[in-house]
Amino acid sequence: MLLQFVYSAQDFVTDVLQRSENCPPPSKFDALIRDGWTDRMDRGLFRYHLGDLETRILPGPNGYIAQLNVQRGIERRKPQEILSIQQEFNPSQFNFNKINADEIICEMMKGTAGVKDLPNGQLPQPCKMVVLINVSPLEFGHCLFVPDPSLCLPQILTRTAVQVGIESVLLSSNPGFRVGFNSLGAFASVNHLHLHGYYLDHELKIESNLVKPLIPEKNFFRLQGFPVGFLFFTKSEEVDTVARTICDVTDFLVGENIAHNLFLTRGCPPSCQMQSAKERCLRKGVRIAIWPRIACFGAKEESAFNVALCELAGHLPFKNKKDFNSTTEREVISIVQRYLLPDDEFQRLEEQLVEHLLTL
């Protein structure tokens, strides 16, 4: 029988700092993920044993976190052939209904206590989110969040998936727990709706990057610096509203056939001005970065690293020792730049999105 994890807003951890001498104890969510993941590693359910990864911080202002993970590049399942950002689910291909049941850590759902009734007097149906190990992990705790696998949803974000992704970050007391999403054409390897979650105990620049306000009342901003992208920010009490707006953006991108990556992490409140050291350490809310990018269909993979959700956020899992040892920040920027929209296209998209969101 599946282990069930039922949570509520009372389980969200709001008092989190990036740097703290007193590391907070693992939350109930953290204990479940970490213990379940470690158990599956001990039982040999992964494609390889993930030990402590060799890590270095690349010199330069971006503070890229480089990690050597050769086995992931060799052992991971061959990505499916993706031909369209709106490609339909294909039951004959690999999907998460075909996994070994022992790979499932738990089934998580939000309790209905305190939730408003629907207009007909019924309670809303809780979303069933299956949490399973990623058998080719890129870091400790690497798991997948799959909304009710039996629905056979394609890799296109839903409001519920976004909301549970944000809530998963809020359920963790560890500022290093991250969640992300790759669309089709943005290095998603399986066309069955899923998000990634994992722990990375290194600070990323995206957690405190300065922003340009676009529609502040909708918590919608533009990320300053490299790589260019959009940013949402939410505290625990705004998750439902912000998740809906994020989905308005990703639905627009899908409708325009624009590939995209998302990265969700604890972060300080967005600001367009330099903040104090104390303000930059605050992690009470969640930053959600969205990068529209050039779609890749059947494209040759990069030899050093692929450009997907974690690489855009500044976490670089390298496939080979040579590139890990020698790649510079300038070379990383050159590789990433090839997958970003040209400046004029991004500017045009920004104007379209602002106009679109203001009409909703």
Which burial class, exposed, middle or buried, applies to 220 when counting CB atoms under 10 A from its CB (0-12, 13-18, 19+)?
buried
Closest CA to 307 of 328, 335, 283, 282: 335
The residue from 142, 194, 196, 315 that is catalytic is 194
Find the mean pLDDT for residues 150-158.
97
Is 9 a residue whose pLDDT tops 50?
yes
Which burial class, exposed, middle or buried, applies to 24 when counting CB atoms under 10 A from its CB (0-12, 13-18, 19+)?
middle
- pLDDT, one tens digit per residue, over 67-113 is 999 998 888 878 888 889 999 999 999 999 999 999 999 999 998 76
**The pLDDT of residue 178:** 98
- pLDDT, one tens digit per residue, over 307-324 is 999 999 999 999 999 999
**The pLDDT of residue 123:** 47
**The pLDDT of residue 24:** 78
- pLDDT, one tens digit per residue, over 244-257 is 999 999 999 999 99
Asked about 202 being catalytic, the answer comes back as no
What percent of the chain stands above pLDDT 70?
95
Q: Which two tokens stand for residue 339?
A: 């997958």
Cβ neighbours around 248 below 10 Å, total = 16
Mean pLDDT, all residues of the chain: 92
Lowest mean pLDDT among 148-162, 190-204, 250-264, 269-283: 269-283
| AA identity, residue 75 | E
